[in-house]
Amino acid sequence: MSVSEIGVAVIGFGLAGQVFHAPFVSAVPGLKLEAIVQRKGDEAAKAYPAVRILRSVDEALQDAKVQLVVVGTPNETHYEMAKQALLAGKHVVIDKPFAATGAEAAELKALAEKQGLVLAPFHNRRWDGDFLTVKRLLAEQAVGRLVTFESHFDRFRPMPRENTWKEGAGAANGLLMDLGPHLVDQALALFGVPQGITASVRRDRDLTDIEDAFDITLEYPRLRAHCRSSMVACDAAPRFLLHGTEGSFKKYGLDPQEPALVGGAKVPRMGEGEWLGEAEDLWGALTVAPNPADPARLVRTRVKTEFGDYRRYYANVRDAINGTAKLAVTPEDGYRVIKLLEMARISSEQGRTLPVEF
């Protein structure tokens, strides 16, 4: 292994390891997928025959060739797994949720600072093409002064899936901790810390042990940001809906990176190919009134979706470890997201708006 390469061990080879971590680690120069921890089964060995397959976390933590550990295990194990890795002197990426509670998130943040290690929440959807498009349009003030921002991430799973930890009761599981981290993190990345939070966190399905729907409103001066998700959305709402003083932007459909990988696509190494463009028929629509004094005359145009690229997340982690760039998604970001999700539960239980303070 050359001096410039950072050895990486991916812990867990479920959906997270297979789709979101191993492919993108492998595609980033300067990172070397050194090992995959899969307790049983041979899926990892078949997918990555040149990579060492380990059967225990301890093997990875004791391996001197591993400098970065990626925690892609069930949600309730994230805190303990990340803590062990930090104490072993490893840099850490934690798949969402960053932790089950704000207290756990704060402890991991403090431990990483004490150890002098990089600790990065896997808020990869900052590199979704649709989010990057929204970010650009807001920078251009394409809809004027933004008044309302809606971000939906919906699914249709009216019946609980069997034999999966994702349907198990517990504070770390459920839709709030599955998709909530992405939606809230994107809002914080765009608008910063809100003044207040109002939420409805609930169980909409007839049979369920988890929270399967939520509506979170983050309150800013003259702006409301709505983060919404449901598992009973047969006909999904727009992924993004922006209303401003001069127009609106509406975008349907999810970023294509995950379904492409599930479908068998291969991620090219950075510098050897673009990843990944969205089909033109899924581009969003920008509707504006060129003359606000004549609001009935509208102009609607299609907006090309920016290229999404989760490789850039791992390239930033690489650069942060090497000391050549600031970490884009920080432990503080992870802590704030988990704290807001905790507050969302309290707001829902108490039926009131909570002031936000960190």
DSSP calls for 10-67: EE--SHIIIIIIHHHHHTSTTEEEEEEE-SS-SHHHHH-TTSEEES-HHHHHT-TT--
Contact present, 121 and 98 (Cβ < 8 Å): yes
Nearest one of 328, 250, 243, 247 to 282, comparing CA atoms: 250
Within 8 A by CB and 6+ apart from 144, the residues are 244, 245, 246, 247
Residues of the chain with CATH 3.40.50.720: 6-125+312-327
Nearest one of 140, 147, 89 to 118, comparing CA atoms: 89
Residues of the chain with CATH 3.30.360.10: 128-308+341-350
Q: Give the C-alpha separation, 123 to 67, whole Å.
A: 20
At what angle are helices 180-191 and 129-139 packed, to 10 degrees?
A: 20
Q: Which of the 8 DSSP states describes residue 230?
A: E
**Domain range 128-308+341-350, its CATH number among 2.40.100.10, 3.40.50.740, 3.30.750.24, 3.30.360.10:** 3.30.360.10
User: Which pLDDT value is given to residue 2?
Assistant: 43
Beta bridge partners of 148: 224, 243
Query: With respect to CATH, is domain 6-125+312-327 assigned 3.40.50.720?
Result: yes
- Locate 15 and state its tokens: 């959906």
Number of H helices, E strands in the chain: 12, 15
Alpha carbons within 13 A on the beta-carbon side of 121: 27
User: Which pLDDT value is given to residue 1?
Assistant: 40
Walk along the chain (358 residues) and give the pLDDT tens digit of each residue: 445 799 999 999 999 999 999 999 999 999 999 999 999 999 999 999 999 999 999 999 999 999 999 999 999 999 999 999 999 999 999 999 999 999 999 999 999 999 999 999 999 999 999 999 999 999 999 999 999 999 999 999 999 999 899 999 999 999 999 999 999 999 999 999 999 999 999 999 999 999 999 999 999 999 999 999 999 999 989 999 999 999 999 999 999 999 999 999 999 999 998 899 999 999 999 999 998 889 899 999 999 999 999 999 999 999 999 999 999 999 999 999 999 999 999 999 999 999 999 9
